[in-house]
Amino acid sequence: MDSDPGNNSGGVGRLTLYLAAVGLAHVAPEIHAAIAQGAQDVYAIMTQPWTVDEIWQLARNLRNSHSSACAIQVTGIVWYLTSLAIERNQAFVTGAYLCRDPNGRLSAYFRGVSMPRISSHLKRHSAPGCTGGIDLRVADSAVRSRLPPLPHGHCHVLSIAIANDKRRGNCLFLKPERYGVHGVRNLAHHAVMYAKSLRRKHTFGGNEVAGMRKERIPDQLVASFAEAVASLPDGPSAIAEVGRRGEGEGIASMHDFLTVRLADPSAAGALSGYGSERMRALLDRLVSEYDFVDLRFGNEVFIDLPADLTRPFPQTPGVCGPSLFL
């Protein structure tokens, strides 16, 4: 991957167009450098011969002793993930990344650099102590001047480590946010944003608004699945497992159920012709609209980190390896 991913036929990269669209073209060189450094740092975290406990301890020491360096590293990592989303036309205004992390190494890093916090996201899939957040605001003006902002005013990153999930194995959920949870001002703003999000969450169609790529299943897909399978003997239990509004097994479970039922000759008697057609149409829609359809919860950006790290890294002058503290 070159330093301007997704070049189009006119020679202008998607990243260049994106930065112009979100008003960050003036800091493009700093963002390119952050992406390149973030890729190197993720690679180091995922491949160095450290144990998970050693990664956690290293990250914890970094947070406690070098908070500015910690913010720089996390900013680079998030920009690297953002560049992958842009490359796939999956950039968002508000949303989240779900990263495959087979050995829990990046999860250990984020558990180390983050402060414990509560979250309403993926409660069924997170264990106690696996949810945290890190503020990316730095007090040092010299560092702040070199730290490229994240898009859309995001300055806090929520992290949730997911371990031994029956479909996804070990994954890391990362959600950039505009406000943290520490301090009165942050808490007040976060409460307001949460109230707005909750209202959208419980409004039909509110989970598929433009610019949003959260872990919620689009409401129309939930309704279509329920209509297609409700009459089956195991339909109600399948609907409950899939869930809605980010609470359940999500699209992966929906895809699994439809695939198994349509391929099972013994289930043919329970399916009317019309029911079978609706299930087939829904399955075809899922496969055509989503990558990693058998792994995702909802509309989040799913990133297969082990696969992406086998590709050429973004190249920027001055970036030739992981950060000093890695």
214-270 pLDDT, tens per residue?
A: 998 998 999 999 999 998 889 999 999 998 766 788 999 999 999 998 988 666 555
End-to-end CA distance of the chain: 23
Least confidently predicted of 14-18, 180-184, 245-249: 180-184
The pLDDT assigned to 78 comes to 98
User: Is 136 within 8 Å of 75 (Cβ atoms)?
Assistant: yes
Determine whether 195 is exposed, middle or buried from the number of CB atoms within 10 Å of its CB (0-12, 13-18, 19+): exposed
* 170 or 118, greater pLDDT: 170
Q: Above 60 in pLDDT, residue 1?
A: no
Q: Above 70 in pLDDT, residue 191?
A: no
Q: Determine what percent of the chain is predicted with pLDDT higher than 90.
A: 64
The pLDDT assigned to 309 comes to 96
Contacts of residue 69, Cβ cutoff 8 Å, sequence gap at least 6: 62, 323, 324, 325
| pTM given for the model | 0.88
Q: Above 50 in pLDDT, residue 310?
A: yes
Residue bearing tokens 């916090």: 117
**Strand 156-165 with 131-135, pairing:** antiparallel
Q: Above 60 in pLDDT, residue 2?
A: no
How many Cα atoms occupy the beta-carbon half-sphere of 168 within 13 Å?
A: 30
Q: Above 80 in pLDDT, residue 203?
A: no
Residue bearing tokens 């908070």: 67
- Taking residue 296's Cβ as centre, other Cβ atoms within 10 Å add up to 23
- Banded model confidence at residue 3, pLDDT cuts 50, 70, 90: very low
Length of the chain: 326
* Alpha-carbon dihedral sign for residues 148, 153, 155, 158: negative
63: left (phi over 0), alpha (psi -120 to 50) or beta: alpha
The pLDDT assigned to 269 comes to 56
User: Is 176 within 8 Å of 300 (Cβ atoms)?
Assistant: no
The pLDDT assigned to 8 comes to 44
Q: Above 90 in pLDDT, residue 98?
A: yes
Q: Contacts from 193-200 at CB under 8 Å and sequence distance 24+?
A: 194/120
Residue 213's identity, in one-letter code, is: R
The pLDDT assigned to 245 comes to 66
Q: Above 70 in pLDDT, residue 184?
A: no
Give the integer Cα–Cα distance in Å for 302 and 320.
27
Structure tokens at 183: 């301090």
Strand runs (DSSP E) across the chain, as ranges? Answer: 94-95, 97-100, 115-116, 131-135, 156-165, 169-177, 212-213, 301-303
The pLDDT assigned to 121 comes to 76
Query: What is the average pLDDT score of the chain?
Result: 87
Q: Above 60 in pLDDT, residue 296?
A: yes
Q: Above 70 in pLDDT, residue 207?
A: no
250: left (phi over 0), alpha (psi -120 to 50) or beta: left
User: Is 50 within 8 Å of 58 (Cβ atoms)?
Assistant: yes
* 128 or 52, greater pLDDT: 52
